Structure 1
Amino acid sequence: MRVLDASAIIYAWDNYPPAQFPGLWSWLANELKTLELAIPVVALEEVGHKLPECAQWLKNTEVLRLPISEAALMAAMAIKDAIGVVNDQYHPKGVDENDLFIIAVAKVHGAELITNEARQFGAQIDTRKYKIPAVCDMAAVGVTTMNFLEYIQKSQRVF
């Protein structure tokens, strides 16, 4: 199973409109129905705030909605400690609480995370500035990430 971050499905919706790429969206619907893809409930809520029609498409395809379980909550707290966030003082340039939940859900399910957050190059001194891919790359986290285009390429599907 792979887990979708809101940024990935929003990127897909914006850059591969369903009306122009029906084959892609048919394949994605099948990936969702066969549980190859799932989405954390917090990511689905983010999609709903930004692109209600995309969130509705996900719901119509009966996407598996992964809750924030106790195990995911504990993993999120451990990740929060690993990046040095104290008293919910998240850095505006880094991950936020929802991001930590999304990463934690992927970690708990042993899933790869599809995110379109940009990779950061060069050493970041302040770990609170880490974006999702950098947090996932931390030894304490260990979640594999890819962006939406890499996901399509990895599938080797032709549309």
Structure 2
Amino acid sequence: MPKPPEALYLDRIATPVGEGLLVTDAEGFLRAFDWTTHEDRMHLLLRRQNPPTSLRAGRAPNAIRGALETYFAGDLGALSKIRWRTGGTDFQRAVWTALCTIPVGETVSYKGLARRIGKPSAMRAVGLANGANPIGIVVPCHRVIGSDGSLTGYGGGMDRKQWLLTHEGAAFRRAA
């Protein structure tokens, strides 16, 4: 008999850069964070990286909401308090864990991130895993930039990436 779908809960939160979507599980872990403008992408990542799930409306735990609100208000270390988990491959989870080692206010290149996980020639695979990160901001994929210091793609949009890095005080080369 197949296992019933796991219940996940969808909440929304206002941020200075648009409405965010928070997906949590019954144990209070954050499973996804994305933007309403990219909701289809979030659903796709949830389907690809998790066993069958059932997504329904529900309020995220106060600890998660509070940490996000505090981060956007200027307490840049607040996100480290959020408990998260995700599916994905072992390689993807290694990349996402490595993203969490990038300090606030710093950036790393794809090459640097590949080195951090012990796979220095896997820059393209690291880029793909970074792009498949379902927990934006908390798992800080926005802190990955080009080797020359330029902004590179971000699933939430380049304007948001620039805002987030500026908010965190990170150095990067602005687009012309």
What TM-score comes out, normalization by structure 2 length? 0.27
Tell me: higher relative CO, structure 1 or 2? Use CA pairs within 8 A at least 6 residues apart. 1
What TM-score comes out, normalization by structure 1 length? 0.29
**If each structure's helix is expressed as a fraction of its own residues, which one has the higher value?**
1
**If each structure's strand is expressed as a fraction of its own residues, which one has the higher value?**
2
